[in-house]
Amino acid sequence: MKNLIFYIHLNTVKILLLGNEAIAYGALAGGVAVATAYPGTPSTEILETLEEFRDRFVHWAVNEKTALEIAYGATVAGARALVAMKHVGLNVAADPLHSAAYTGVEGGLVVVSADDPWMHSSQNEQDTRWYGLQAYVPVLEPSDPAEAYRYAKTAFELSEKLKHPIILRSVTRVSHVRAPVEVEPPSPPKWGRFSKDISRFNLVPAYARERRKALVEKWGTIGEVSAELMRVEPGGHVTIVTSGVAYNYVKEAVRLLNIDATIIKLGMSVPIPPKIRELVKGTVVVVEEGDSVVETQLRALRLETRGKIDGYFPKYGELNTRKVAEGIAKALDIPYNLPQPPKSPIEAPPRPPVLCPGCPHMGTFYILRLATAGLNPVWSGDIGCYSLGINTGQQDLITHMGSSVGLGMGVAVASKQFVVATVGDSTFYHSVLPQLIDLATKKVPLLVVVMDNAYTAMTGGQPSPSRLIPPEKIAEAFGIPAFVIDPADIKTSIEVVKRAVEIVKSGRPVLVVSKRPCVLVATRKARKAGVAIPKYKVEPEKCIGCGICYNLLKCSAIQARPDRKAYIDPVLCVGCGICAEVCPVDAIKGNGARVKWLEVWQQA
């Protein structure tokens, strides 16, 4: 990436860029001055790319609401700003989004929201475009990285022209697709100055009513702008309306089906241009990724459609060429025989996501299991790597960011059961802080465990505020007793957590902070610094095949041999030595200085 920056200062080049990188470079070409985000797959690389440009204000915010507020504030003051998040993050940021449409903006405001159909790394399939309709914010929908680059740049101009925020809707198969993109040099950042306008920026009822009227009127104008981003590829009498990534599958499907169709590709899928009504006669086939957002708008224009609403295309999951070809064939009532995909000669055993070998969460879960033995706790979980506690039966509820403490409180007050709420440090700051205040004022008995690995690990290790503002200090300020443990020190930690459990049993909330940095960050740093990482080995003659290391601790570097004895993959082992601590017969031995390595690791 460093090379790229060098090149783009020389001239325009075509290089392979991830959709998210393309959005970042598009924003740079568009003169972005302020860029904020909360990491979330598949959106993270947008801000990661922008981070390298020190002449802009680039910030990983504590959550999406704060991120959008900073960007919105900057654009109210006339600067150009981009805020990036995953689709579910837009729920967190929904409040300021709606207000931004009412007040409008002075500098361009681009809200990037990346959807994740089929939930590769998410809890739901929500379609960002509904927010466009709901909040009266136009939605641009790029189909590939090259278009994502152009739309990101265009979005700033458009937003400024309309004095209105713009949503750039990406999906996994745009954000995380690498394709050739032509990149221009960055434009200088556009900063601004706040000019007071009482009746515009104060959404008190008297003024808000006027803003509402203006907003509805503006929406009509935006419909006309939408027509400028519509592209008609003329063909036969069959008309296919499509947008975003779905366009690609349409292009391949019509070739596969050998049909001559007119393809109308919408660049702005919310609102669709009312003018489209004049372009089509009869029934149109509608192909879109996500919900039937375009189709619903087409029907509102009294057009007859065949899309997702009547089941011509699947209502869940991701599209692909096969599904689109099948759907188009069904909609046009033409025969199409799909070749059957071949069957594997033997079925591959599943390889579900697991915690990385040596992950501190593995130690924490083991400690929690032993310290709460006999209590049959309800495990109120959260979004992050530690969701994988599901593999050891230690996550019973995982619903959304910050669900652990809120839902945990609800379960505890409703059922009087013993509840353990597990949450990572980044999620703790993102959305558990307010809940902690309710927990403190209401004194609900809850064992809150912050699995503090000092990074936002699941999205690749973005910074977390945990070293600057330690969770235990916050708990103390709130009057909640706090304990700190090291997940690599199993025996001591179990005793500490047992004390915490006693306090919960007496009817009060407790916070346990399990501190050890993400193993991926630690091993990366150790490799750079030339620090030796010990390896652990099982002595087969001593191993009794109890399975504690591979079933309960469940280290993914350890497998059960056919005779049930343990085997540690030497390539995967990162020398945390936790397995040696939990082995009841002392059959696991390391070859190096564990203490030194754990010290270096703790500083990672």
What are the residues binding other proteins (CB under 8 A)? 14-16, 18, 41-42, 44, 120-121, 144, 172-173, 176-180, 245, 247-249, 251-252, 318, 320-323, 338-354, 356-357, 385, 387-388, 391, 458-460, 520, 550, 554, 556, 559-562, 569, 571-572
Instruction: Quote the CA–CA distance of 383 and 460 in Å, as a whole number.
Output: 14
Q: Closer CB to other proteins, residue 34 or residue 458?
A: 458
The CA–CA distances, whole Å, from 133 to 164, 216, 553 equal: 14, 12, 48
- In b/e form, how buried is each residue of 136-147, taking b as 16+ CB within 10 angstroms? bbbbbbbbbbbb
What's the min distance (Å) between Cβ of 352 and other proteins? 7
- Tally of CB atoms within 10 A around 15: 17
Q: Closer CB to other proteins, residue 97 or residue 388?
A: 388
Q: Closer CB to other proteins, residue 258 or residue 506?
A: 258
What's the min distance (Å) between Cβ of 13 and other proteins? 11
What phi and psi values does residue 580 have, to the nearest 5 degrees?
Answer: -65, -35
What's the min distance (Å) between Cβ of 177 and other proteins? 4
Residue 204 makes CB contacts below 8 A (sequence gap 6+) with: none
Q: Which residues are annotated as a binding site?
A: 543, 546, 549, 555, 573, 576, 579, 583
Residue 40 makes CB contacts below 8 A (sequence gap 6+) with: 64, 85, 86, 88, 89, 114, 459
What's the min distance (Å) between Cβ of 93 and other proteins? 21
Residue located via tokens 């973005």: 462
What's the min distance (Å) between Cβ of 274 and other proteins? 28
Q: Closer CB to other proteins, residue 353 or residue 479?
A: 353
Q: Closer CB to other proteins, residue 79 or residue 362?
A: 362
Q: Closer CB to other proteins, residue 45 or residue 106?
A: 45
Question: Residue 119's Cα: distance from chain center in Å?
Answer: 10
Q: How far apart are the first and last CA of the chain?
A: 24
Instruction: Quote the CA–CA distance of 447 and 441 in Å, as a whole number.
Output: 15
Residue located via tokens 């049909």: 259
Tokens of 98: 């709606």
Contact 271, 138 (CB under 8 A): yes
What's the min distance (Å) between Cβ of 200 and other proteins? 40
DSSP code for 491: H
User: DSSP letters of 351-384?
Assistant: ----PPTT-HHHHHHHHHHHHTTTS--EEE--SS
What's the min distance (Å) between Cβ of 4 and other proteins? 12
Helices 246-257/321-332 angle, 10° precision: 60
What's the min distance (Å) between Cβ of 17 and other proteins? 10
Residue 93 makes CB contacts below 8 A (sequence gap 6+) with: 64, 65, 67, 68, 83, 85, 111
Residue 473 makes CB contacts below 8 A (sequence gap 6+) with: none
Instruction: Quote the CA–CA distance of 39 and 42 in Å, as a whole number.
Output: 9
Q: Closer CB to other proteins, residue 144 or residue 382?
A: 144
* Closest to 218 (Cα-Cα) out of 298, 158, 151, 173: 158
Q: Which residues are annotated as a binding site for [4Fe-4S] cluster?
A: 543, 546, 549, 555, 573, 576, 579, 583
Instruction: Quote the CA–CA distance of 287 and 389 in Å, as a whole number.
Output: 38
Helices 19-29/145-162 angle, 10° precision: 40
What's the min distance (Å) between Cβ of 549 and other proteins? 12
What's the min distance (Å) between Cβ of 355 and other proteins? 8
Q: Closer CB to other proteins, residue 386 or residue 428?
A: 386
Contact 526, 601 (CB under 8 A): yes
User: Quick check: helix, strand or coil at residue 409?
Assistant: helix
The one-letter code for the residue type at 370 is L
Q: Closer CB to other proteins, residue 18 or residue 444?
A: 18
What's the min distance (Å) between Cβ of 55 and other proteins? 28
Q: Closer CB to other proteins, residue 340 or residue 506?
A: 340
DSSP code for 344: P
Alpha helix positions (H), 83-141: 89-92, 94-103, 129-135
Q: Closer CB to other proteins, residue 153 or residue 173?
A: 173
What's the min distance (Å) between Cβ of 435 and other proteins? 25
The one-letter code for the residue type at 515 is K
Q: Closer CB to other proteins, residue 176 or residue 211?
A: 176
The one-letter code for the residue type at 145 is P
Instruction: Quote the CA–CA distance of 192 and 380 in Å, as a whole number.
Output: 45
Contact 79, 33 (CB under 8 A): yes
